Amino acid sequence: MSRTAPYSRYLLPVVAQGLEPIVVASASGRTVVDVDGTEYLDCFSGISVVNAGHNHPRILAAARAQMDKLVHAASCIYHVPVVGQLAEQLARIVPTSTAASTTHSAEPPATKAFFCNSGAEANEGAMRLAKQHTGRREIVALAYGFHGRTIGTLSITGNVARKKNNGPYLSGVAFGPAPYCYRCPLNLKYPSCDLACASALNDTIRVQTSGDVAAFVVEPILGEGGIITPPADYLTLAGSIMHEHGALLIIDEVQTGFGRTGRMFGVEHSPNVTVDIMTMAKGIAAGFPLGAFSATEKIAEAMKSGDHLSTFGGNPIACAAALANIAVLQDEGMIENTNQRGGELMTRCQAMADKHMLIGEVRGRGLMIGLELVKDRTSKEPAAAEAKMVRAKMRERGILVGIGGVFGNVVRLQPPLSITADECDRLATTLDSVLDLLGV
């Protein structure tokens, strides 16, 4: 039996079909190694998960030490020290407001966390908490947003490709226009638009809901939507509008969190935002399965004992890895490196856009960069086939990148935050040569 045969024989086609032709044997830092010994520079990080790099020794050591002591005890039933320690650390780093402040306290703010296993679970729990706190039952989300693959999270996902063959979805969900400046749904231009897409949320509530909105769920950067990067002041206005209507603001940091954008959390790029609930996963534990949502104490108190549980949520090994992961990001200057390397990479990609007509737009923050490919810059016809070709040609040259977006035409560059200047240069040089090869 070939090395890939078990996938096709024993896994559902939804998993087995469309895979990259690589059988991964090991990984370390930014390098992935296949079973034949071929090395690849990983510039996708397992979909923005291993932010500190693959198999970071400090994170592995913390996980092994915890494994030797306790693997599972149901942290929803018993006190497990490492779970409480991670909750305390999240209280220290999760922002409840992005307003400028000159005061600092040694004590963490009064926030509380719930641990689960994935981003979808975190978003499900966050919506439930918002409904219980407000006594309201409706949710507002964004077109092109993505929040998970459960029925509840698909209901607030604005992408037919993710939702097809699975309806009907939950009622009580309304969608606002995406802050997608390159393809503005309102045919306006930033900044002269005065953030009309955010202001339109007033109409979303008035026209699409019964006025019973519990929360607005939004990503700081719409990752699966195509690394759609709103203007920094979008969340400021959108959050203010939602609070005026009595709704909570749920910030989905599943993909943007833990240094990916050059801040610990993506929302921190936007001024004067009050964060009611934040959801996290992916980069929280460097590849160990863990999700979480965090809320201010007043909101958190709405969930009483037994209202919401997760058997495996808050797994001790994953929590130990998460604690070490946060320490690594802070101690080893990875967030600072993200800003520097991300700036360099963005400059190189923008230069490519000047050279290659295939690139319609370059966007992103930190080391979360998307290149939207189009067949024609005037019509903006998506170039999905070309995006797949770029990914394949990059892989053939030893570099792994992602593709995504609602139209499948966005090349995604999301390397580990430890990437070096030389590796960024290799990534950019190779991508430029691949675009040259395609003749566009």
Pairing between strand 31-34 and 399-400?
unpaired
| Domain-terminating residue out of 331, 357, 381 | 331
Q: What is the per-residue pLDDT for 190?
A: 97
Same domain, 40 and 120: no
Residue 176 confidence (pLDDT) above 90: yes
My answer on whether 343 and 404 are in the same domain is yes
For the record, the structure tokens of 287 come out as 């590849």
| Domain identity same for 182 and 245 | yes
Which pLDDT band holds residue 261 (cuts at 50, 70, 90)? very high
HSE of 258 in the Cβ direction (CA atoms, 13 Å)? Answer: 34
Element spanning 89, H or E: helix 81-93
**Statement to judge: residues 167 and 254 lie in one domain:** yes
Strands of 368-373's sheet in order across: 359-365, 368-373, 410-413, 402-404
Q: Is 190 found in the same domain as 223? A: yes
Cα–Cα distance, 319 to 159 (Å, whole number): 32
**R_g of the chain computed on alpha carbons:** 21
Alpha carbon distances (Å) from 5 to 1, 11, 20, 300: 6, 10, 14, 47
* pLDDT tens readout for residues 317-336: 999 999 999 999 999 999 99
Q: Are residues 213 and 312 in the same domain?
A: yes
Q: Are residues 224 and 85 in the same domain?
A: yes
- Across the range 13-42, mean pLDDT stands at 93
Neighbouring CB atoms inside 10 A of 119's CB total 26
Per mean pLDDT, which range of 107-111, 358-362, 423-427 is the poorest?
A: 107-111
- Residue 14 pLDDT grade (very low, low, confident, very high; cuts 50, 70, 90): confident
Whether residues 229 and 361 share a domain: the answer is no
Q: Which two tokens stand for residue 82?
A: 């490492």
Query: Residues 326, 332, 335, CA angle at the centre, nearest 5°?
Result: 70
User: Which residues fall within 8 angstroms of residue 270, CB to CB, at 6 or more apart?
Assistant: 98, 220, 232, 233, 234, 235, 236
What is the pLDDT at residue 5?
Answer: 86
For residue 84, give the 3-state DSSP assignment: helix
The pLDDT of residue 103 is 42
Confidence of residue 32 (pLDDT cuts 50, 70, 90): very high
Compute the distance between CA of residue 200 and CA of residue 212 in angstroms, rounded to an integer: 17
Q: What is the pLDDT of residue 1?
A: 67
Mean pLDDT of all residues in 97-122: 77
Q: What is the CATH number of the domain that holds 294?
A: 3.40.640.10
Please report the pLDDT score of residue 99 as a whole number: 79
Give the structural domain span for 75.
61-331
Cβ count near 246 (within 10 Å):
13
Number of neighbouring beta carbons within 10 Å of residue 22: 16
Listed residue (57, 63, 53, 120) closest to 286, CA to CA: 53
Region 118-129: mean pLDDT is: 98
Residue 106: pLDDT band (50, 70, 90) is low
The per-residue pLDDT for 432 is: 98
Answer yes or no: is pLDDT of 108 > 70.
no
Task: Tell me the residue type at 324.
Answer: A
**Domain stop point among 288, 306, 331:** 331
Q: Find the distance separating the first CA and the last CA of the chain, reported in whole Å.
A: 41
Give the pLDDT confidence score for residue 102 in this predicted structure.
38
Q: Is the pLDDT of residue 100 over 80?
A: no
Residue 27's beta-bridge partner residues? 32
421-438 and 384-396 helices, crossing angle to 10°: 130
The pLDDT, as a whole number, for residue 39 is 98
Rounded Cα–Cα distance for residues 411 and 389 (Å): 10
What mean pLDDT do residues 400-429 have? Answer: 98
pLDDT higher than threshold 80 for residue 110: no
**Same domain flag for 98 and 240:** yes
Residue 54 confidence class, pLDDT cut points 50, 70, 90: very high
pLDDT of residue 75: 87
pLDDT in the model for residue 107: 63
Question: What digits encode the pLDDT tens for the residues 396-414?
Answer: 999 999 999 999 999 999 9
Residue 101 scores a pLDDT above 60:
no
Looking at the structure of the chain, the number of domains it has is: 2
With 80 as the cut, is the pLDDT of residue 104 above it?
Answer: no
Same-domain status, 326 and 339: no
8 A C-beta contact, residue 415 and residue 45 = yes
DSSP state of 165: T
DSSP for 201-249, please give it.
HHHHHHHHS-S-EEEEEE-SSBTTTTSB---TTHHHHHHHHHHHTT-EE
Q: What percent of the chain has pLDDT over 90?
A: 88
440 pLDDT more than 50: yes
Checking if the pLDDT of 3 tops 90, the result is no
Q: Which of 198, 207, 199, 216 is nearest to 138 (CA)?
A: 216
With b for 16 or more beta-carbon neighbours within 10 A and e for fewer, the 393-429 pattern comes to bbbebebbbbbbbbbbbbbbbbbbbbbeeebbebbbe
Q: What is the mean pLDDT of residues 378-394?
A: 98
Name which of 6-10, 190-194, 230-234 the model is least confident about. 6-10
The answer to whether the bond into 191 is cis (omega within 30° of 0) is yes
The mean pLDDT value for 62-81 works out to: 94
Give 160 or 131, the one with higher predicted confidence: 131
Look up the CATH number of the domain holding residue 423. Answer: 3.90.1150.10
Token pair belonging to 165: 């063959």
371 and 261 share a domain?
A: no
Last residue of a domain, one of 331, 346, 363: 331
* Token code pair at residue 200: 């339109």
Verify that 302 and 431 share a domain, yes or no: no
CA dihedral 281, 282, 288, 292 (to 10 degrees): 0
